[in-house]
């Protein structure tokens, strides 16, 4: 079945109003006489128009364009020594999941082939509540302090004056925040234009923690490696596909699942003891840095399979609400500053985008029973706690806290001076971008140089001049090649 083939079903019975009353006519409004005005008493008409008027909810402020699918995660290797998370407790155990892939900067109608990171968000419906792994297809990120995030995103969105994308904004920002250049290099390599969602890896990007039964933490990075193999578009191919089918990735995912070609990812961990994490040559809490796989090889933990398309895009994909703060016992945050900012930001935006009761929506509802004293609010459905007491502690047998629950996100020590401790820029920030450049094949280096230079050339000379020293600092050859292209276009640079 193609994604455009509408399903032809059996007769579903008589159309009703939103109150369930049968509808006699859905084609003609009630009027006073043949040429007379339309009547307010026509409940079906007014209800239909009024509901239509309210069809749009705010789109996600970032990652607005996306596609999702259901599936499962299966444990393939024992990691019970690392975590007490029940869904990871035994080999062969399966957990239902929902995954959403996305681009970042564009609006809901924007192209799937944009040069952009891709979101890679997975909701694990475990017996102890939902765990959301909200990552990207890149092992790192542009910035390492959440206070910079709104500014960074503004440079990726539209110019407030012209409502156009503006290369001046992004190169101006990157020249002030050169720690972004590691991720900028991935963005302008061919990994910045993946061939659909099935042919890319996913990463937690942040270092998270796993905590075992004894309360011992390990620092881990999650890697989801595509079993379909990496496939990218080169810049020209992406532009061509944009012209042919801007929904290419959405359609490709849907149709693959529909024809039974279920995409899968093998899931790995990089595991560090607390001591190894604290003594590693790079700060493992700085999300602009990778942890070398030579130092900490990937250890397989499981397999993620997507085998079912959503029945309804809005209900399942648009209303899906992922958050790095949705954790389960055995999985815990680290002090990564970006991650800490995200723990706040996602539920905050969900309450704005979907409402205070967003967790009650079927796509977000845990399979684990939810019992608490949260009541009321807009669109509280279900029984709203029924007759159970809406306070705790109580003597009425209502849901109560239990000290036997292991609070694995509260086992760290933290102390120090309350201050704005800045990371500062050092030579270390340029080592990994340099290594990345030298890891690329000659052809990949050429594509990267051409893609970056082509984009920088769109910015005003002042911004071209301010980014060049940082590119030269990464690698003299790399920076010089870009400089040569820019100077060929503008000898006065």
Q: Which residues are annotated as a binding site?
A: 346
Q: Does 284 bind ligand HEM (CB under 6 A)?
A: no
Out of 44, 60, 223, 289, the only residue in the binding site for ligand HEM (CB under 6 A) is 60
Q: How far is the CB of 180 from ligand HEM (least distance, A)?
A: 12
Contacting ligand HEM within 124-153 (CB under 6 A): 134-136, 141, 146, 149
How many residues are present in the chain?
493
The CB-of-235 to ligand HEM minimum distance in angstroms stands at 24
Question: Interior CA angle at 304 toward 300 and 307, to 5°?
Answer: 155
Strand runs labelled E in 212-262: 217-226
Is there binding between residue 320 and ligand HEM (CB under 6 A)?
Answer: yes
Q: Does 358 bind ligand HEM (CB under 6 A)?
A: no
Residues 378 and 361: beta-carbon distance below 8 Å:
no
Binding-site positions for heme read 346
Is 154 a catalytic site residue?
A: no
Among 341, 366, 389, 399, binds ligand HEM (CB under 6 A): 341
Please identify, using beta-carbon distances, which residue of 66 and 196 lies nearer to ligand HEM: 66
Q: Which residues pair with 99 in a beta bridge?
A: 69, 122
Smaller CB distance to ligand HEM: residue 108 or 490? 108
Question: Per the residue annotation, which of 63, 70, 206, 350 is the catalytic one?
Answer: 63
Q: Are 227 and 263 in contact (CB under 8 A)?
A: yes
Among candidate residues 347, 405, 342, the one with its CA nearest the CA of residue 371:
405
With CB under 6 A as the contact rule, the residue among 44, 342, 470, 481 that binds ligand HEM is 342
How many Cβ atoms sit within 10 Å of the Cβ of residue 3?
Answer: 14
Q: 121 or 456, CB closer to ligand HEM?
A: 121
| Residue 359 or 480 having the CB closest to ligand HEM | 359
CA distance 442 to 111: 29
Least Å distance, CB 171 to ligand HEM, is: 21
Rg (CA), the chain: 25
- Asked if residue 327 binds ligand HEM (CB under 6 A), the reply is no
- Residue 142: how many other CB atoms lie within 10 Å: 26
Measuring CA to CA, which residue among 205, 317, 190, 315 is closest to residue 253?
317
Q: State the Cα–Cα distance between residues 361 and 489, nearest whole angstrom.
A: 54
* 285-304 positions binding ligand HEM, by CB under 6 A: 287
* Dihedral sign of CA atoms 86, 91, 96, 102 in order: positive
- Comparison of 199 and 350: residue with beta carbon closer to ligand HEM: 350
Minimum gap (Å) between residue 65 Cβ and ligand HEM: 10
* Residue 272: CA count within 13 A, CB half-sphere: 26
* Residue 35 designated active-site: no
Between helices 167-176 and 442-456, what is the axis angle to 10°? 110
- H helices of 148-302, in order, are 149-156, 167-176, 181-188, 235-244, 248-258, 274-279
- Say which of 44, 70, 130, 136 is annotated catalytic: 136
Which 208-237 residues touch ligand HEM, going by CB under 6 A? none
H-helix or E-strand spanning residue 340:
helix 337-353
Q: Is the peptide bond before 393 cis (omega within 30 degrees of 0)?
A: yes
CB contact set of 177 (below 8 Å; sequence gap of 6+): 142, 143, 148, 152
Answer yes or no whether residue 353 interacts with ligand HEM by CB under 6 A. Answer: yes
Shortest-Cβ-distance residue relative to ligand HEM:
119
Q: Does residue 67 bind ligand HEM (CB under 6 A)? A: no
Among positions 97-126, residues that touch ligand HEM (CB under 6 A) are 100, 102, 119, 121
Interface residue with ligand HEM among 45, 46, 62, 216 (CB under 6 A) is 62
Three-class SS state of 229? coil
Residues with a known catalytic role: 63, 136
Instruction: Enumerate binding residues for ligand HEM (CB under 6 A).
Output: 60-63, 66, 100, 102, 119, 121, 134-136, 141, 146, 149, 205, 287, 320-322, 338, 341-342, 345-346, 349-350, 353
């Amino acid at each position: 079945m193609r994604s455009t083939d509408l399903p032809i079903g059996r007769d579903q019975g008589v159309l009703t109003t939103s109150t369930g009353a049968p509808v006699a006519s859905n084609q003609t409004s009630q009027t006073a006489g043949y040429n007379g005005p339309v009547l307010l008493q026509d409940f079906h008409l007014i209800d239909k128009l009024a509901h239509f008027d309210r069809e749009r909810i705010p789109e996600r402020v970032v990652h607005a364009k996306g596609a999702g699918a259901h599936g499962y995660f299966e444990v393939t290797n024992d990691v019970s020594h690392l975590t007490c998370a029940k869904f990871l407790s035994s080999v062969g155990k399966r957990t239902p999941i929902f995954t959403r892939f996305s681009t970042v900067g564009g609006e809901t109608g924007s192209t799937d082939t944009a040069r952009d990171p891709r979101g890679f968000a997975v909701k694990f419906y475990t017996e102890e509540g939902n765990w959301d792994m909200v990552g990207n297809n890149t092992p790192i990120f542009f910035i390492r302090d959440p206070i910079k995030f709104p500014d960074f995103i503004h440079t990726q969105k539209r110019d407030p004056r012209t409502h156009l994308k503006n290369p001046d904004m992004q190169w101006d920002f990157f020249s002030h925040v050169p720690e972004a250049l590691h991720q900028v290099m991935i963005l302008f390599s061919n990994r910045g234009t993946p061939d659909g969602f099935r042919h890319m890896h996913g990463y937690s990007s942040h270092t998270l923690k796993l905590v075992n039964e004894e309360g011992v933490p390990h620092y881990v990075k999650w890697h989801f490696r595509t079993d379909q193999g990496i496939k990218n578009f080169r810049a020209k191919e992406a532009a061509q596909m944009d012209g042919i089918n801007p929904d290419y990735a959405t359609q490709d995912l849907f149709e693959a699942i529909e024809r039974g070609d279920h995409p899968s990812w093998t899931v790995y961990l990089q595991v560090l003891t607390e001591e190894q994490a604290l003594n590693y040559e790079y700060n493992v809490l700085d999300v602009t840095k990778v942890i070398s796989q030579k130092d900490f090889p990937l250890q397989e933990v499981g397999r993620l399979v997507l085998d079912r398309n959503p029945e309804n895009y809005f209900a399942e994909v648009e209303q899906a609400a992922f958050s790095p703060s949705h954790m389960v016992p055995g999985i815990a945050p680290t002090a990564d500053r970006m991650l800490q900012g995200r723990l706040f930001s996602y539920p905050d935006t969900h309450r704005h985008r979907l409402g205070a009761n967003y967790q009650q929506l079927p796509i977000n509802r845990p399979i684990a029973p939810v019992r608490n004293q949260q009541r009321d609010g807009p669109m509280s459905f279900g029984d709203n706690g029924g007759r159970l007491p809406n306070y705790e502690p109580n003597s009425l047998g209502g849901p109560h806290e239990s000290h036997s629950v292991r609070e694995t996100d509260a086992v760290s020590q933290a102390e120090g001076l309350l201050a704005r401790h800045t990371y500062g820029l050092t030579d270390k920030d340029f080592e990994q971008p340099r290594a990345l450049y030298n890891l690329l094949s000659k052809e990949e280096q050429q594509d990267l140089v051409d893609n970056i230079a082509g984009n920088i050339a769109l910015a005003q000379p002042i911004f071209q001049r301010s980014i060049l020293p940082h590119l030269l600092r990464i690698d003299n050859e790399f920076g010089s090649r870009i400089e040569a292209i820019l100077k060929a276009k503008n000898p006065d640079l």
